[in-house]
Amino acid sequence: MAFNYPNGRHFDEANFNKPIKKSASQSNRGMSLESDLNSANQYYLTTNRAVIHKKPTPIQIVKVNYPARSAAKITEAYFRQASTTDYNGVYHGHYIDFDAKETSNKTSFPLKNVHEHQITHLKQVVAQDGFAFMIIRFTTLQETYVIWATLLFNFWDAQNEQRKSIPYEQIVKHGVRVPMGINPQAPYLDAIDTLINQL
């Protein structure tokens, strides 16, 4: 869900706890994969293909005002750390779970884009026989891939001994590219279908 301050300044939900020092282009890039996925999810929902939603950002509410005859207004609240990934749902009886990340890197996906709690959650999903993925967009290359979370785990678990990123070639080799679509723009379920059919 993209939103803006009343003055039109872009609010970057994914980077709320960092000082705003990024260029406008980087911020927009940060929202566009999310925006594409939200559109795709809406399309899949409308066409009865899947029921996948982005989870709301967890927020700790401290103060709420109840003005007469208008909506409750939250006047003090803080962002909380999520304990899961951002997206989950059901597709043809399969439990689907993923997070989505963008990198401007052209040769690898840096693991610093991923948080420990996301890995923990994706491993828990795999242990329950859910289908766990990571969707990665190389913004400079304008290429988007879906990989099994297990590929991510391999690199994550070895990052202290080996490299701290997943090489682009590995993602191309083991992942499936999301085709460029029109409606939806990022038909990522086509890539997930390919991965599932390879099982």
Smaller CB separation from its own copies, 13 or 190: 13
Instruction: Using DSSP bridges, classify how beta strands 51-54 and 87-91 pair: parallel, antiparallel or unpaired.
Output: antiparallel
**Spatial separation of the C-alpha atoms in residues 90 and 57, rounded to whole Å:** 20
* Min CB(53)–its own copies separation in Å: 6
* Min CB(109)–its own copies separation in Å: 25
Smaller CB separation from its own copies, 58 or 179: 58
Smaller CB separation from its own copies, 49 or 177: 49
Query: Which residues form the interface with its own copies (CB under 8 A)?
Result: 3, 5-6, 11, 13, 16-17, 19-20, 45, 48, 50-51, 53, 55-64, 66, 71-80, 82-84, 88-95, 97, 121, 124-125, 127-130
* Min CB(138)–its own copies separation in Å: 29
Place of tokens 């779970």: 97
**H-run or E-run covering 79:** strand 73-79
Smaller CB separation from its own copies, 19 or 182: 19
Residues 6+ apart with CB under 8 A from 86: 34, 54, 55, 98, 99, 100
Residues 172, 166 contacting (CB under 8 angstroms)? no
* Min CB(105)–its own copies separation in Å: 26
**Spatial separation of the C-alpha atoms in residues 3 and 61, rounded to whole Å:** 19
